Structure 1
Amino acid sequence: MSTFKDADEVYAYIGKAMEACVSDPKFVEATKDGTLVVLIKQTDPESYILVDFPGQKVLVGDAAAAASSTVQLRMSSDNANRFWQGKLNFTLAMAQRKVKLDGKRTTAMGLLPLTGPIFETYKAILTEAGREDLLVG
């Protein structure tokens, strides 16, 4: 059984954390001259989140699935939940094929060091929503 009951929960929690990414000054600075648009495709439940760094916006659902992206990231919603809490080693997960990354890989991998502050934001979003059950120990 999945961590999330439906795609709306994925959007409410992970989507909200992605909105923090596109407004975070470090991400804005690191991506301002680029074309990085990441489509996060998640399974269990199926969901789509598009993170448009140059446009500083996040789309979810069908709008995200239909939009153009430069990087596609595929993983289960459970692995996404773990990753955004800093509990999933991204490089190891890719080697184990738990996470698949297509497109401009070097650009996306270059942003990994900036993700630390987003972990705390995501955990705060879960806590504020009363979803401590999603927190990974």
Structure 2
Amino acid sequence: MPTSLRFSASQLQELLTAVYASADGSQANVLVTRQLIVAFEFRDPELSLSVDGRSGKAVVRSGSGPEAGDAPTPDLTFHLSGDAIDRFWRGELNPVVAMTSGQLRIDGSLLTALALAPALPGLQAHYRQLTADWATEQPQL
């Protein structure tokens, strides 16, 4: 198993924005079709992101800045911290085990979260590719 990568908040935001921007229609359309907003609350690094499918395409927004106060309430919020963030996005963290061990917490309907599961492997594949590219371009990661 590869060593978990650690990112700064700005690197993680840039990376996840690229993951959703490069997602094919089937992955992004899950959020758009269901008109969902999914939020991610990360700790270590501290970062709040939401992916808004209500806008007609999956748009990633940071939880900071003036627009954060006007942001609609997410349908689901995933809470992850430390190396669990990288392991989740790599597909190396079993969500059920992570939830029972406290590494992952989900606020919102578990049925809604399960409806998103089919799109996750494609997003994780994009993440793995992008992190492989970053590791070769930016050895300080």
The TM-score normalised by the length of structure 1 is 0.80
Q: C-alpha separation between the residues in 2 aligned to 1:13 and 1:28? A: 16
> For the structure 1 residues 18 and 33, does the alpha-carbon distance in structure 2 shift closer, same or farther, using more than 3 Å as the test?
closer
1:28 deviates by: 4.0
Paired position in structure 2 for 1:104: 109
CA–CA separation in structure 1 for the residues paired with 2:134 and 2:76: 30
Superposed CA offset, 1:56-92 (max 9, x none) = 2110241585422111111114212111111000111
Whether 1:37 and 2:37 are equivalent positions in the alignment is yes
Question: Could you report, residue by residue, the CA deviation over 1:39-72 in whole angstroms, capped at 9, with x for unpaired residues?
Answer: 1000001101101123221102415854221111
1:22-48: per-residue Cα shift (whole Å, max 9, x none)?
xx3213443444231011000001101
Percent same amino acid at aligned positions? 24
Q: What are the residue-to-residue correspondences of 1:37-56 with 2, within 5 Å?
A: 37-55=37-55, 56=57
Matches within 5 A, 1:1-137: 3-21=5-23, 24-55=24-55, 56=57, 57-63=59-65, 66=69, 67-68=71-72, 69-130=74-135
Deviates most, 12-21 or 111-120: 12-21
- Please give the TM-score of this superposition, normalised by the length of structure 2: 0.78
Q: Distance in 1 between matches of 2:139 and 2:26?
A: 28
Aligned AA (1:43) = R
CA spacing shift, 1:4–1:121, aligned 2, 3 Å: same
| Structure 1 residue matching 2:38: 3-state secondary structure | strand
Q: Where in structure 2 are there 5+ consecutive unaligned residues? A: none
Measure, in 1, the Cα distance between the counterparts of 2:127 and 2:98.
Answer: 20
Give the AA of the match of 1:54: R
What is the aligned residue count? Answer: 131
- CA–CA separation in structure 1 for the residues paired with 2:86 and 2:93: 9
In the superposition, relative to structure 1, how do residues 89 and 113 fare at CA in structure 2: closer, same or farther (>3 Å)? Answer: same
Alignment RMSD? 2.5
For residue 62 of structure 1, give the secondary structure of its aligned residue in structure 2.
coil
